[in-house]
A and B are shown apart, each in its own frame.
Chain A
């Protein structure tokens, strides 16, 4: 058990490290850097710019250093000072922007995860137990529907419907009067009124997948000999289903969190942009387009780290629910 946990946490740490390298490398890929952009702007405004300015600026920003040095400085600042660098585009601290946007992203992903679980578990269970029933067929159909529709398209359609028939598009996470207001109960209620739209949109694809996984797992379990043993004991069908197949199917269910999270975060990024939510998506997009490298790398790093942590938690949960892992 402890060995398992230790190994898992080492993997998680290693993964985060590789991701940080990748994130930083990807951001460095484009030809030119922010200085090129700035100079272009300057030239457009002021005509000629002395060439030595360019080198000077590169020096100031540290763009002249080799990749490893830049990476090392970047990591050192994050780890030791919690500083993610500077946003050239927004002219402010990148870390601040992350802190501003991340909690909402996190909340949205969390809500979506719960939505997926709460919907997928009972439906998957029922579909497996009452195979080929109307509910099963409906669930399969909805499942395929949810898998086939791109989430941004669903977001667009919901926007369209709410705009056309409900007198105003559901955009954002807050009503106008709460957008900049300090946290209060009323603001929280307002958030709940808005969050279900992105929550459903982001979650629907994963829900579809999870219902199918759940159903397939349970169908597998329903024919296992231990179910027959339990039936031969005289356990009632309901108690039996809950105690054995459902309990067994929970293991893969818990481990799905690992593969679900990256998808949910991806969905969050694109849906946030369509629905214009105050989460990380729109800022990350801007940063990528504007080559605002510290902001982009910071967001990618933090989002990925969160998913890795989520996966790690699902590993812990798995060890908790499955004695075969706990006692290995």
Chain B
């Protein structure tokens, strides 16, 4: 395992939310890996478990959610350590958060506290993870703000977040994330709340910094346009499971899972006529009443009767292409008999 170039390897991750109304299986057996220095895009509809997945990597799943099983092996100094086994409040995982794995959130308006200056909140990360003095941390903060192209960084360092625009705040968030040279950056829909031009600037900035810092980037989005622009690899998620993963080219040109295909059909293209827009039929089922068999079967145009009975497993289609769909499983009969 340590021979390959994987920074994070996730096996059978399950995160369940124990609510009064019942157990919600937000993540129900996710396998994935993030390669060093590469960009992985995690794609899916709202509520499919993307955000919970990336929070699980940091051990910050909110109550009443809990990691119930699985492994999350993270490479630290050429050793693989299992994040899933760490106490989410313990010392160990806190030294990974913000230092090895940093995260940027969706809402730049509320992700920074209005009570403290931008500089204070960035310096906090530096002071926490490195043994520098306050003065050094401040200088590093100013240089970081400069790197994310915030104008007059030596003045803005003492500014409160509510006096900055959304784009500027997101830049500050990026600066904060980069402050300890993380090996992996998780970005949870970082551009969704921004307007289109700002979005493009932030994306460019992130790619540039990823290259400069040599980080792996786990980018979570529901915007396939963004995916096309930045992804090396793509994982498509539906109802707490990865249904297909491949390199970006394959996903866009040869999608195999009916859900991926439907997802791609549903993006409007400029060349399209109005009528051609093809939304995915049906609605996301209630989290308490997941369909039996394959999660996607009630909405799937290619659903077969077995799809209601058997949960598909990951099938290898190419060297770097896996899909979880019974269409591609050869031994359905055996499994059915076996059960």
Are A and B direct contacts in the complex by CB distance below 8 Å? yes
The answer to whether A234 touches B111, judged by C-beta atoms less than 8 angstroms apart, is no
Interface size class of B (residues with CB under 8 A): 20 to 34
The answer to whether A231 touches B97, judged by C-beta atoms less than 8 angstroms apart, is yes
User: Main secondary structure on chain A at its contact with chain B?
Assistant: helix
Given contacts A226-B111, A247-B115, A237 and B89 within 8 Å (CB-CB): yes
Complex-state Cα separation, A237 to B93, whole angstroms: 12
Q: Which A205-246 residues sit within 8 Å CB-CB of chain B?
A: 223-226, 228-237, 243-244
Complex-state Cα separation, A225 to B111, whole angstroms: 5
Complex-state Cα separation, A192 to B250, whole angstroms: 80
Complex-state Cα separation, A87 to B129, whole angstroms: 70
Complex-state Cα separation, A161 to B62, whole angstroms: 48
Q: Which A274-312 residues sit within 8 Å CB-CB of chain B?
A: none
Chain A residue nearest to B124 (CB atoms) is A233
Instruction: Determine whether A3 belongs to the interface, using a CB cutoff of 8 Å to chain B.
Output: no
Q: How far is the CB of A319 from chain B (nearest CB, A)?
A: 13
The answer to whether B89 touches A226, judged by C-beta atoms less than 8 angstroms apart, is no
Instruction: Determine whether A327 belongs to the interface, using a CB cutoff of 8 Å to chain B.
Output: yes
Contact of A323 among B62, B102, B107, B114 (CB under 8 A): B114
The answer to whether A327 touches B160, judged by C-beta atoms less than 8 angstroms apart, is yes
The answer to whether B99 touches A223, judged by C-beta atoms less than 8 angstroms apart, is no
A247 neighbours in B (Cβ, 8 Å) = 113, 115
Instruction: Determine whether B144 belongs to the interface, using a CB cutoff of 8 Å to chain A.
Output: no
Contact of B94 among A228, A229, A234, A248 (CB under 8 A): A234
Complex-state Cα separation, A324 to B93, whole angstroms: 34
Q: How far is the CB of B15 from chain A (nearest CB, A)?
A: 16
The answer to whether B115 touches A323, judged by C-beta atoms less than 8 angstroms apart, is yes
- Central interface residue in B58, B102, B113, by most chain A CB within 10 Å: B113
A231 neighbours in B (Cβ, 8 Å) = 58, 60, 97
Q: How far is the CB of A218 from chain B (nearest CB, A)?
A: 14
B176 neighbours in A (Cβ, 8 Å) = 229, 233
The answer to whether A327 touches B163, judged by C-beta atoms less than 8 angstroms apart, is yes
The answer to whether A223 touches B62, judged by C-beta atoms less than 8 angstroms apart, is yes
Q: How far is the CB of A205 from chain B (nearest CB, A)?
A: 30
Instruction: Determine whether B43 belongs to the interface, using a CB cutoff of 8 Å to chain A.
Output: no
The answer to whether A229 touches B105, judged by C-beta atoms less than 8 angstroms apart, is yes
Instruction: Determine whether A322 belongs to the interface, using a CB cutoff of 8 Å to chain B.
Output: yes
Task: Kindly supply a per-residue 1/0 record for chain B positions 94-133, scoring 1 wherever the CB is within 8 Å of any chain A CB and 0 otherwise.
Answer: 1111110011011100111111100001001100110000
Given contacts A233-B124, A237-B89, A327-B163, A248 and B113 within 8 Å (CB-CB): yes
The answer to whether B112 touches A235, judged by C-beta atoms less than 8 angstroms apart, is no
Instruction: Determine whether B162 belongs to the interface, using a CB cutoff of 8 Å to chain A.
Output: yes
A-B pair count, CB < 8 Å, reads 74
B173 neighbours in A (Cβ, 8 Å) = 229
How many chain A residues touch the partner (CB < 8 A)? Answer: 22
Complex-state Cα separation, A233 to B160, whole angstroms: 19
B58 neighbours in A (Cβ, 8 Å) = 231-232
Contact of A235 among B102, B115, B124 (CB under 8 A): B124
Chain B residue nearest to A323 (CB atoms) is B160
Chain A residue nearest to B95 (CB atoms) is A234
- Central interface residue in B62, B107, B115, B121, by most chain A CB within 10 Å: B115
Q: How far is the CB of B116 from chain A (nearest CB, A)?
A: 8
The answer to whether B113 touches A244, judged by C-beta atoms less than 8 angstroms apart, is yes
Complex-state Cα separation, A169 to B236, whole angstroms: 75
Complex-state Cα separation, A232 to B111, whole angstroms: 11
B93 neighbours in A (Cβ, 8 Å) = 234
Task: Kindly supply a per-residue 1/0 record for chain B positions 68-105, scoring 1 wherever the CB is within 8 Å of any chain A CB and 0 otherwise.
Answer: 00000000000000000000010001111111001101
The answer to whether A226 touches B94, judged by C-beta atoms less than 8 angstroms apart, is no
Contact of A236 among B94, B102, B125, B163 (CB under 8 A): B94
Q: How far is the CB of B223 from chain A (nearest CB, A)?
A: 20
Q: How far is the CB of B109 from chain A (nearest CB, A)?
A: 9
Q: How far is the CB of B180 from chain A (nearest CB, A)?
A: 9
Task: Kindly supply a per-residue 1/0 record for chain A positions 313-328, scoring 1 wherever the CB is within 8 Å of any chain B CB and 0 otherwise.
Answer: 0000000001110010
The answer to whether B113 touches A235, judged by C-beta atoms less than 8 angstroms apart, is no
Q: How far is the CB of A232 from chain B (nearest CB, A)?
A: 4
Given contacts A226-B112, A248-B115, A233 and B125 within 8 Å (CB-CB): yes
Q: How far is the CB of A220 from chain B (nearest CB, A)?
A: 12
The answer to whether B162 touches A324, judged by C-beta atoms less than 8 angstroms apart, is yes
The answer to whether A235 touches B105, judged by C-beta atoms less than 8 angstroms apart, is no
B60 neighbours in A (Cβ, 8 Å) = 228, 231-232
The answer to whether A233 touches B98, judged by C-beta atoms less than 8 angstroms apart, is yes
Complex-state Cα separation, A236 to B87, whole angstroms: 12
Q: How far is the CB of A39 from chain B (nearest CB, A)?
A: 65
Contact of B105 among A223, A225, A234, A236 (CB under 8 A): A225
Complex-state Cα separation, A234 to B58, whole angstroms: 9
B62 neighbours in A (Cβ, 8 Å) = 223, 228
Complex-state Cα separation, A228 to B111, whole angstroms: 8
Q: How far is the CB of A105 from chain B (nearest CB, A)?
A: 35
Given contacts A235-B94, A235-B124, A237-B89, A229 and B115 within 8 Å (CB-CB): no
The answer to whether A226 touches B97, judged by C-beta atoms less than 8 angstroms apart, is no
Chain B residue nearest to A251 (CB atoms) is B115
Q: How far is the CB of B84 from chain A (nearest CB, A)?
A: 17
Complex-state Cα separation, A244 to B125, whole angstroms: 14
Q: How far is the CB of B20 from chain A (nearest CB, A)?
A: 11
The answer to whether A234 touches B114, judged by C-beta atoms less than 8 angstroms apart, is no
Q: How far is the CB of B81 from chain A (nearest CB, A)?
A: 15
Q: How far is the CB of A208 from chain B (nearest CB, A)?
A: 27
Extra pairs beyond A234-B94, A234-B99 (17, CB < 8 Å): A225-B111, A226-B113, A228-B105, A229-B105, A230-B124, A232-B58, A232-B60, A232-B98, A233-B97, A234-B93, A234-B125, A234-B128, A243-B116, A322-B115, A323-B162, A324-B160, A327-B163
Residue numbers of B with Cβ under 8 A of A are: 58, 60, 62, 89, 93-99, 102-103, 105-107, 110-116, 121, 124-125, 128-129, 160, 162-163, 173, 176
Closest 3 CB pairs of A and B: A234-B97, A233-B98, A234-B94
**Can you show 10 pairs from A to B with CB atoms below 8 A apart?**
A223-B62, A225-B107, A230-B113, A233-B97, A233-B125, A233-B128, A234-B93, A234-B95, A322-B115, A324-B160
